[in-house]
Copies of this chain bind each other. A is one copy, B any other.
């Protein structure tokens, strides 16, 4: 059901939302008189209309109005216009986005760090999902008699390493041979299917070529099974959200900190939708007092999600423009 509001009601809602976003205080009728060239009584009657539609709320019977979730939603869907990036914001981002010497993942995390600073919200980068990372090199370096370091590099430039412990004495010749075989066989395998690959393709081969194949196979299998899920989560300005006045009591702060530490956000963000999505309050599955703005990016086969978390009274126009800018820029890099 789409609400049909009068021009003036739209203007009023816009003023109230934007005012509340800035000040975090309920907006009274008097303070708007000047802006709308009419008396407070007129505004009050319009306000009570909007309240009836469910777009505004009161904290108590004699307080000013604040936008409801539905109000924010209406604002985002029908009123707000994407904001031009300010020259300053643009400049700061450009220098990172255009820095050719950064790999993609660094471009993204660094831009989001900037955005977090610019907006004072919390930024999150969910790294590329693993399925598109192909192994391009496996390297093993001995540390001492029964410890090795295994390093795996993917075609996208991700590096993972893991310590390997050998349960018995193994000649370095055998180790070398195993690594050589693994490298020969494994290059090009998606990283998340590496352990089944190891079992069915590699195990039979090394069994016939290598002496201590049991020990070696077990050691490598254990190490490699950890590589399967290198889904990265990167956050910037995590504490920003705590500085917002809506979180002004100790228990609430503790609660939200726990939610962040428990990585609940990851699940909250992982739904797959296209474009830029805005989840206001109870629309997201993370916390009723926050808004999550997120978008998926796909570059060169790698895909991931970038998101901002802030209070419900978020600078929607600016945030959306910023995210859009980053998404557009990293996706056009591809060429």
Contacts and interface: CB of A to CB of B under 8 A. Distances in A.
Nearest to A151: B151
A80 interface: no
A139 B247 CA distance: 48
Interface in A107-163: 136-137, 139, 141, 143, 147, 149, 151, 153, 155-157, 159, 161, 163
A248 interface: yes
A157 B143 contact: yes
Nearest to A106: B163
A257 interface: yes
A5 B178 CA distance: 70
Interface residues of A, number: 33
Contacts of A139: 139, 141, 151
A249 interface: yes
A157 B149 contact: yes
A137 B141 contact: yes
State the main secondary structure of chain A at its contact with B: mixed
A245 to B, nearest CB: 10
Contacts of A242: 253-254, 257
Contacts of A258: 239
A243 interface: yes
Contact of A103 (B103, B147, B250, B253): B147
A159 B161 contact: yes
Given A143-B155, A151-B151, A159-B151, A261 B248 contact: no
A227 B168 CA distance: 33
A152 to B, nearest CB: 10
Interface of A: 100-103, 106, 136-137, 139, 141, 143, 147, 149, 151, 153, 155-157, 159, 161, 163, 165, 239, 242-243, 247-250, 253-254, 257-258, 261
